[in-house]
């Protein structure tokens, strides 16, 4: 089993389901709009997110298989708090259903001034699977779900069936809190267990080796100053789905110090874009991440969708 290492750069720096997919880019603003059918860079009109799943892992006491090297990370704990604040998480009842899976304890003061500890939870592979399947099987029609994973990703030597041949996404994994791998195709299958085809899912992976891991059919990138689409696979996805990945499939995910606190580059860049844009767009987000997430080019984020925005059914 191979893993990516999330390293630190020490640098000082201060509608219907298909329409939902086109507009899920405002997911981190806790809204999911109905995107106009004619243009993908038009302003977004908002609708509420109903479920938010945040999984942030620091891997205490977990080691690389066959190596005496710890998997321990530090940035995901800071990302966890950043996301809670951005999503306006409250200790009391909230209209949005939060599922928090974290392998650390944290004291958090919410926007109402309530200070309370958030205890560590079971972050094993089985716990992550059960949490996703429960949400997908109980969510109501038109539910809009955000799934965030911050931790390690990797490329396995064999696919889910134990074979050594197949598409690149057949070998891409994330690493659960118990050190066990979860294949991207498994995650996609769990999301696709949704009771209703109008349930929309936006996934965010702040982890290495993550681009295209869900096997979604279309990828978006910047070329010649504009955003282009390319067909990445022929997989059919039965629900509207978006994947925001921190890196290409052969890259590491990095953290960076912002005002003396380390954050994952993707998480910080994503939140900053949404905070600074009252009308976020898919094209704007792709352009922002390609230029701002890591200007050095060592980490290139990627956006993938379940279908081509320019091809209307």
Of 33-37, 134-138, 192-196, 273-277, the least confident: 33-37
pLDDT at 16 over 70: no
DSSP state at residue 49: -
pLDDT at 79 over 50: yes
DSSP state at residue 235: -
Distance CA 88, CA 166 (A): 42
- Beta-carbon contacts of 99 under 8 Å, excluding residues fewer than 6 positions away, are 51, 52, 53, 54, 131, 135
Q: How confident is the model at residue 225 (pLDDT cuts 50, 70, 90)?
A: low
Its pTM stands at: 0.85
Distance CA 286, CA 137 (A): 31
Alpha helices in 184-259 (DSSP H): 184-191
Distance CA 312, CA 259 (A): 44
At 279 the pLDDT is 76
Distance CA 79, CA 77 (A): 5
At 290 the pLDDT is 86
At 27 the pLDDT is 43
Q: What percent of the chain has pLDDT over 90?
A: 47
At 163 the pLDDT is 86
At 284 the pLDDT is 83
H-helix or E-strand spanning residue 267? helix 265-276
Q: Which two tokens stand for residue 81?
A: 């708090």
At 310 the pLDDT is 54
pLDDT at 224 over 70: no
At 65 the pLDDT is 67
Q: Indicate the SS3 state at residue 30.
A: coil
């Amino acid at each position: 089993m191979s893993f990516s290492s999330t390293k630190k750069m020490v640098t000082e720096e201060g509608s219907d389901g298909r329409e939902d997919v086109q507009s899920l880019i405002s997911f981190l603003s806790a809204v999911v709009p109905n995107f106009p059918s004619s243009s993908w860079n038009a302003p977004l009109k908002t609708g509420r997110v109903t479920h938010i799943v945040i999984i942030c892992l620091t891997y205490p006491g977990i080691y690389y298989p066959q190596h005496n090297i710890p998997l321990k990370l530090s940035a995901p704990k800071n990302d966890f708090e950043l996301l809670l604040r951005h999503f306006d998480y409250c200790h009391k009842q909230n209209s949005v259903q939060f599922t928090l899976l974290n392998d650390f304890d944290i004291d958090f003061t919410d926007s109402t001034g309530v200070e309370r500890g958030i205890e560590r939870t079971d972050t094993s592979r089985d716990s992550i699977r059960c949490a996703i399947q429960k949400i997908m099987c109980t969510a109501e029609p038109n539910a809009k779900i955000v799934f965030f994973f911050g931790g390690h990703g990797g490329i396995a030597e064999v696919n889910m069936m134990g074979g050594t041949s197949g598409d690149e996404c057949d070998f891409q994994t994330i690493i659960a809190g118990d050190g066990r791998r979860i294949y991207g195709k498994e995650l996609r299958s769990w999301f696709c267990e949704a009771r209703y085809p109008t349930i929309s899912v936006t996934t965010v992976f702040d982890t290495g080796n993550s681009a295209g891991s869900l096997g979604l059919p279309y990828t978006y990138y910047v070329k010649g100053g504009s955003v282009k689409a390319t067909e990445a696979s022929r997989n059919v996805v039965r629900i509207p789905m978006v994947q925001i990945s921190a890196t290409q499939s052969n890259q590491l995910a990095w953290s960076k110090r912002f005002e003396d606190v380390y954050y994952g580059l993707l998480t910080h860049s994503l939140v900053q874009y949404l905070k600074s844009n009252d009308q976020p767009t898919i094209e704007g987000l792709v352009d922002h991440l390609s230029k701002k997430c890591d200007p050095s080019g060592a980490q290139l984020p990627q956006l993938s969708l379940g279908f081509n925005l320019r091809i209307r059914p």
